[in-house]
Amino acid sequence: MAAFSLNIQKHIESGLVTSGKFDGSHACLVAATYGGNILVHSPHRQPQITSHDHEQSDRKLSWSGELAELHIGTEITALCTGRLNDDERDILLIGTASHVLAYNIEDNSDSFYKEMSDGARYIMIGKLSWLPNQVAIIGGNSSVTILDSQGAEIFWTVVGGTVTSLAIFDFDGDDENELITGTKESEIKVYKKDNLLWETKETASINTLTGLPNRRFVYSVGNGTLGVYEMAQRLWRVKSKHRVVVTRSFDLNGDGTPEVITGWNNGKVDARSFNNGEVIFKIQLSAGIAGIVEADYRRIGKSDLIVVSSAGEVRGYSSSSTMDTPEPGEIMRDLLAKKQVLQMELRQRGASVPNMYHGTKLAVSLMTSNGAARVALASGPGLFIHCAIVFTEGVFEGETLVVHPNRPRGELEIELRPPKNAPVDMYVKVCVGPAGADLLQVFEMTRQLPRFCMYQIIERPEQITEDFTKNSVTAEFTERLQRIALWLNQNLVLPEEFEIKENKPNNEGIEIWLRGMRDNKIHCFMANSTGKITIQTEDIIFAGDIVQSLSLYLGLRELSSEVSFPAEEKKMLDALERVKELKEIDIRLQAEAANDTALLKNLIIRLEDARILENIDDMRKRLVQLKNVNADLIREHEIRMKSYKELTANLKQLNLGVQHAARLRVGKSASNTVAQCRAAIQDENSKALVLAIRHG
Amino acid sequence: MSLPLSRIDYAAVGVTSRGTTRVFSAKEHKQTQKFAVADHDGILHVYGVKKGELQVSFKSLPGPRINKLVLGGTGHDKIYIAQGNTVKGYTKKGKLFLEFDTNLIDPISALYVLGPDLAACARDLYHRYHDCKDADSYLAGETLYDVVLLPTDGSFIFAILACGDCAIRVLHGTKTPAVLRLPSVPTVLSLYREGDVESKERVLVGTIDGKVEITSLDTYELQDGLDILIGRQDGTVEIYTFPEEDMLPSLRYRYVVPKKLFSQNASESISSVVGGIIGAAGYPEVLVTTYSGRIFGLTTKPPGLLEADQNDGLIKLKVEIEQLQEKLKEEKETASFSVDPLAPLILSVNHRMTLNREDVSYSLFIELDTPIDNILIQSDTPIVLLDVESNSAVVSLSTCNPREGNFVLATYRCQINTNHLEMRLRTIEGQPGTLQIYVTSQVQPKCCRKLSIPIPALSLHVRQHEVENPETRTEGPFNALRLIGSFTIAEIHAWLSFALPDVPERPLLEEGEAILSYVSSFIGSVLKCRYKKGSAVFLGENISTVIILRDILTREATKRKIKLDVFCDVSDGSISRVLELVFPQLNAVDDLITKVKILNALEEWELKENPKENLCTEYQELLQKESEIKSQMEKDSELLERLHAVITDLYVDWERAKRSRRISSKDAVEKLGAALKSRELAQVLQVFVDANNTVPAPSSCKD
């Protein structure tokens, strides 16, 4: 049971709770409340008599008893505590949409205040393998920035999407920490310096990531899924209708290995074994969980697990004290339940399912036609399909597609349109029985839809526009055609297997024409006998998907390619040009804003003068002037926001372009492409950018 | 809660119906008592605890499912079970002494034995036998849920019936029964008893709408003073002190049957609770049986003394499990396809759909005897599925095409070990249809059970009974629908059951005429039906209700090729009547929405801190009630739209009935838009009247 509980009676923003020892020894709780306020709860703080300065300046902590408030005044997007240098006192990092503030609670002063144009969505303090000291890592919209203890930028990299979570842990077992990022675009990526070690795509936006020992980490995503990966293998996952707010690892039962602690938006907290996800402990709070931290809150020399709800309820649980002891009779109950299940199963086996159900099979086939991948089902004679349910993730809005015909039918087709080029594991349940029956047999099966199932094989079109042939990727895979054919068979839904005769040594190669069923665009895949592959397509993403899939299949670690995508290049150059312009505009606007601010300050002083002199007319005049300046400021701010939005959009476009170009290569060549493109963007050198895209 | 009880598990039998567990009287005071349980496999078990160990003293052969079990005879030592329409009598030792075919057409659903008298209820028919000979019977016309017989001084007997029309009927001989109206449908009757002494005048009644339906009741002295034991459909067992004069009963103990391991909130409904001394002499306890057949006790014996007791039982159970596993393995290997014709039924689904009057939504409760894998809901009419907090299943709405008859296709994928699930849904009046529900079990080989639940056209109407609502409000004016044709009373009664929920089993005739009255739980408008052979009159305050009814009845008549003459009298006054009913609700919702808007604004402007210093008293009050207001809003976020839809429908139907003009609801929304925004009843009314003036349309109806 809870070791302690208290209530700070404030609304706490979900996900924005942390703890730290700001004086080096006493644990405090820090949380974000309404309207950009930070609340510090310090139960062991010595009341300070000396600091009686009532000066209400900006950004100062005001203590009242155990609580202190810090007014930031803008929406807080991230909170983090930790040590960036040898000072044993923790520092508090506060992230907003535009800045990172490092605050020293004990001194009640800023440590640094740094503008982050990408915003600070998630902040983490830790030690990375390729940097000598503790650093602050800030994830923003499409980038990760690393700052040192002075707030100087020491590393910057692009990630394809808005960062929602970060974790630092040893991913590959080399006893050094890697950086792992999770994005709104549902991607999880592991970085070691500039190298992308591993990436995967989840089924919804990533909510939280937490590193565990033994190369494992916990992840949770927006659709209520929680799971654990070990290296690149998923150990388990569970799904709930509620959403995970926070994950943490803590040894709650005191057995020496930490458990996965999860806080949910419905107020539930559970602890699961990280081997299999089995729940070993759970509690329910009356409001949604805002955060879970680890802190020595009772001064016992050992950390407690502290749960904070969004209504301000705080509960602490100590390690090894909270386990449920089995109730008397629990074993008996479990055994009885087990017996009941066995009896049921026996009964169901021997039971009243009509004879003809037995031995019947369901015919299943997969095809691609009329704009969708199709699973066709056919039941045995005298039996009908009443309905079919397809369970899969990332293909439909929910997790299921149900096909329910008007009346039971002998044959049924399920249309599937996966939105992305990725293999889809689906789990199909089909209810089969005679017409009019109310007891039906359920056939279950798992099938995998090939990665490129949304591409239909077609004859070579008679007319091919000149523009089309200009788009291509060419790469030397140096692989036998037979293996490439095998890959084709595995990744496409073909009416019949594609075969290359072994005994014809000098055959002319493979040429396949495909029609994408999402957009009706035509693509061509060619391979000659030396293993040189050319992909002609206007879709650079599709080309990248093919290169990546094929090289993964063939086990290639390095692959360079020659690329030509005129339209894509033009888009990037336009974006680069626009970025250049927007940056200039921004500088100009900043100057104007500074000007207006100075004017504003001036006016306020004049107004104050007029008030003291009780000169009403002058006051009125100043107020009117103030109003005008204010309106100007607001207008300018709007313009600035608009141009900033455009700037980020263009930057995103550039980053995406770089990513697409990199995906046409593998290994060093890919990272080279990124580095070169980035250098070109940094220098605003359009020629270098084009060269980098074309030749890597 | 003042009563510490601990659970001990005894046994598991097949699926059980309500009221199929009884405890025998003790031979000696405070000694352990035997008990009898009957299940759907048709097996009657008699158990007793000897030397701390549960022993089967008798077990019958399987047969048709047993719906009811009661005790009778002097000293309550004879067991009577209802199996289909047969009543069987067993002695405590298991000797069959009676097998009596009642000749009732429907299976017996309620049973009671008092001396030589045996009362059996099947559907809406009550029948009493004296020494197995017909004594008297009574056709209630309503579903009968339970029956109790009470002796009187004379040779007469009182029969007390729990009836589906929210009434208790007391029969005395062949006289017209005395009717006692209740606010909800009674489901369980139980004699007040103190120990073995049953009262001759006090009866406990459990109803369907006591927050969660009560499924079983008993009184028993557990510890200092008499207690009421209550079992509920959601798996709670509650114990209340028996109220003294003028005192409210206080809750002493609540227990929710948990399912083991990981699941949250998962439980199963209670089919019986009985007080007795079962496990250990001297310790009174509550004997509980669940739907899937788990039998356990909640004992007053302190938990410290319990542990050692069950070791032998555990060993025995482990052996049994091993044997079962062995057998299962064998089955799997041989995979014999021989089917045992006597094999018992599998996948028993227990379901109930009830209207919550508070927020005008339906609760759908589904329970399976094995863990549920998933539930698929298919609807051929528009419905809205609502979230239920206690439901932990992962809901997914599949895309669907209404043109193929699929308006909703939703799957509920259940967490492990979920036996029952509660869902909530909202129907739309005038959109009748059928829900098809596929419940798939987790047990291999997987099977699923399909249920069909009809949704009547006037799904939000609730039947009214005479004495209900004592504060009689003025009713009317009414729109009248008159039907004349060559239909029988049974036919029109059957057609009505397509349109209205809770239509009684048989027409309730009074002087050759049947009367039913309904009230809309949503807007409160009244509908009265009077029908007899060849003619029927329907009076409705809401013209939309009358139009829906007309459409359904004429459609049904056409299907059966019966010619109907339809007359529809529209009352102009009825419009303002309905608007008067809707407007208070409309204003309340509007108020609520404004409040929420203010609260959101306060939040956005960061004015929530220190309300006392910064805000006016009105806003301070708002902030204080913030969570209350917001939860109220969440309860029915679409109420405003629904109320608007009622007025729009009213307008469309009014145009149709009054001027035989069909306009689309889009046009109606346009016409009403400004008036609705104004929140002035008069303005809205003006729209109705206006059309009358500007477009003189031919009207066939008389005013």
Higher-scoring residue by pLDDT: B377, A662: B377
Task: Choose the mutation target among A64, A442, A444, A446 for the interface with B, i.e. most B CBs under 10 Å.
Answer: A442
Helix count (H) and strand count (E) of chain A?
8, 40
The Cα of B306 is separated from the nearest Cα of chain A by a number of Å equal to 7
Using CB atoms, which residue from A334, A342, A396 is nearest to B399?
A: A396
Kindly report, residue by residue over A13-26, the tens digit of the pLDDT. Answer: 888 899 888 888 88
Long-range (24+ apart) CB contacts under 8 A made by A355-359 are: A355/B337, A355/B339, A356/A380, A356/A382, A356/A383, A356/A434, A357/A383, A357/A432, A357/A433, A357/A441, A358/B337, A359/B337
What's the pLDDT at B25?
Answer: 83
Chain B, 323 to 362: residues with Cβ < 8 Å from chain A are 324-325, 327-328, 331-332, 337, 339-340, 343-347
CA distance A447 to A442: 16
pLDDT > 90 fraction of chain B, expressed in percent and rounded: 3
| Topology, domain A4-318 | Methylamine Dehydrogenase; Chain H (2.130.10)
Give the residue-averaged pLDDT of B395-405: 86
Which stretches of A303-421 are assigned E, i.e. beta strand?
304-309, 313-318, 363-369, 372-378, 384-391, 400-403, 411-416
Whole-number pLDDT of residue A22: 84
Compare all CA atoms of chain A with the CA of B309 and give the residue at the minimum distance. A329
pLDDT for A336 beyond 60: yes
Instruction: Tell me if B399 and A224 make a contact (CB, 8 A cut-off).
Output: no
Considering only A251-265, A349-363, B542-556, which range has the smallest mean pLDDT?
A: A349-363
In Å, the largest CA–CA distance within chain B is: 91
Query: What's residue B378's pLDDT?
Result: 92
Of A34, A329, A347, the CB nearest to B7: A329
pTM, two decimal places: 0.75
What's the gap in Å between the CA of A269 and the closest CA on chain B? 12
Residue A247 has pLDDT above 50, yes or no: yes
Q: Are A360 and A379 in contact (CB under 8 A)?
A: yes
Confidence of residue B696 (pLDDT cuts 50, 70, 90): very low
Asked if A12 has any chain B CB less than 8 Å from its own CB, the reply is: no
pLDDT, greater one: B566 or A9: B566
Those residues whose C-beta lies under 8 Å from the C-beta of residue A559, and which sit 6 or more positions away, are A475, A476, A477, A547, A551, A665, A666, A667, A669
Q: What is the predicted pLDDT for the residue at B466?
A: 66
What's the maximum distance between 2 C-alpha atoms anywhere in chain A?
A: 105
Spell out which residues of chain A touch residue B324, defining contact as CB-CB under 8 Å. Answer: 339, 342-343, 346
Q: How far apart are CA B491 and CA B503, in angstroms?
A: 13
CB-based contact B429:B546 (threshold 8 Å): no
Of all residues in chain A, the one with the smallest CA distance to B8 is A329
B-chain CB neighbours of A336 within 8 Å are: 9, 11-12, 294, 317
Among residues B306, B308, B314, the alpha carbon closest in space to that of B4 is found at B306
* CB A40, CB A68: distance < 8 Å: yes
Q: What is the rounded average pLDDT for all residues in chain A?
A: 82
- Read off the pLDDT of residues A381-426 as tens digits, 9 standing for 90 and up: 778 888 999 988 778 888 888 888 888 888 888 888 888 888 888 8
Distances (CA, A) of A337 to B264, B295, B371: 17, 11, 11
User: Are the C-beta atoms of A526 and A511 separated by less than 8 Å?
Assistant: yes
Beta-strand runs (E) in A171-303: 178-183, 187-192, 195-201, 206-212, 216-221, 225-230, 233-239, 244-250, 259-264, 268-272, 279-284, 289-295
Interface of B with A in 482-541 (CB under 8 A): none
Per-residue pLDDT at B341? 45
Question: What integer pLDDT is reported at residue B263 of this predicted model?
Answer: 30
Query: Cβ of B396: how many Cβ atoms within 10 Å?
Result: 22
Q: CA nearest B321 in A: which residue?
A: A339
| Residues 6+ away with beta carbon under 8 Å from B662 | B652, B655, B656
In the predicted model, what is the mean pLDDT of residues A453-482?
A: 82
Least Cα distance to B141 among B484, B391, B507, B402 occurs for B507
At A356, is the pLDDT very low, low, confident or very high (cuts 50, 70, 90)? very low
| Among the ranges given (A138-142, A330-334, A534-538, B158-162), the one the predictor scored with the smallest mean pLDDT | A330-334
Q: State residue A57's pLDDT score.
A: 45
Interface of A with B in 328-357 (CB under 8 A): 328-329, 331-355
Rounded to whole angstroms, the Cα distance separating B539 from B325 reads: 64
pLDDT at B197 over 80: no
| pLDDT band with cut points at 50, 70 and 90 for residue A328 | low
Q: Which residue of chain B comes nearest to A345, CA vs CA?
A: B443
Residue indicated by tokens 């929710």: B256
Q: Which class is domain A362-449?
A: mainly beta
Domain positions in chain A are 4-318, 362-449, 455-556, 566-695
Please indicate if any CB of chain A lies within 8 Å of the CB of B443: yes
Contacts A–B by Cβ distance under 8 A: 216
A340–B376 C-beta distance less than 8 A? no
pLDDT value for B24: 86
- CA neighbours closer than 13 Å in the CB half-sphere of residue A600: 14
| Per-residue pLDDT tens over the stretch B180-194 | 888 788 888 888 877
CA nearest to A351 within chain B = B343
Contact criterion met (CB < 8 Å) for A35 and B8: no
pLDDT digit string, tens, across residues B148-164: 888 877 677 888 888 88
Using an 8 Å CB-CB cutoff, list chain A residues near B394. Answer: 224, 239-241, 399
Query: Å from B393 to nearest chain A CA?
Result: 7
The pLDDT value given to residue B701: 41
Indicate if A362-449 has the same CATH topology as A4-318. no
Nearest to residue A153, comparing CAs of A167, A140, A171, A170?
A140
Distance CA A254, CA A393 (A): 36
pLDDT value for B437: 92
Q: Which residues in chain A (374-403) have CB-CB distances under 8 A to chain B?
A: 386-387, 389, 391, 396-402
Please provide the size of chain B in residues: 703
pLDDT reading at B174 higher than 80: no
Range with lowest mean pLDDT among A502-506, A584-588, B74-78, B346-350 = A502-506
pLDDT at res. B559: 87
Type of residue numbered A268: K
Write phi, then psi, for A302 (nearest 5 degrees). Answer: -140, 140
Instruction: Taking the CA atoms of A204, A208, A211 and A216 in sequence, report the sign of the dihedral they define.
Output: negative
**pLDDT confidence bin for A377, thresholds 50/70/90:** confident
Q: Does A283 touch chain B (CB under 8 A)?
A: no
Whether the predicted pLDDT of B175 surpasses 80: no
How many Å lie between the alpha carbon of A187 and the closest alpha carbon of chain B? Answer: 23
Which one of B398, B413, B610 makes the best mutation probe of the A interface by having the most chain A beta carbons within 10 Å? B398
Checking if the pLDDT of B477 tops 80, the result is yes
Helix (H, G, I), strand (E, B) or coil at A604: helix
Highest mean pLDDT among A43-57, A448-462, B34-48: B34-48
Nearest Cα of chain A lies from the Cα of B263 at a distance, in angstroms, of 9
Strand, coil or helix: A262: strand
Q: pLDDT at residue B171 above 80?
A: yes
Nearest CA in chain A to B302: A328
CB contact under 8 A, B339 and A352: yes
**Cα dihedral sign for B452, B456, B460, B466?**
negative
Query: Has residue A53 got a pLDDT over 70?
Result: no
Domains of chain B by start residue, with CATH: 6-324 (2.130.10.10), 349-455 (2.60.40), 461-467+474-568 (3.30.310.200), 574-694 (no CATH)
CB atoms within 10 A of CB B363: 17
The 10s digit of each residue's pLDDT in A68-122 is 888 877 888 899 998 888 778 888 899 988 888 888 888 888 888 888 877 888 9
pLDDT of residue A298: 82
Q: pLDDT tens digits, residue range B120-143?
A: 888 888 888 888 888 888 888 888
Task: Name the nearest CA neighbour of A225 among A271, A275, A277.
Answer: A277
B396 and A399 within 8 Å at the Cβ level: the answer is yes
Asked if B458 and B500 touch (Cβ cutoff 8 Å), the reply is yes
pLDDT, one tens digit per residue, over A211-244 is 888 888 899 988 888 889 887 788 888 888 888 9
pLDDT for position B262: 30
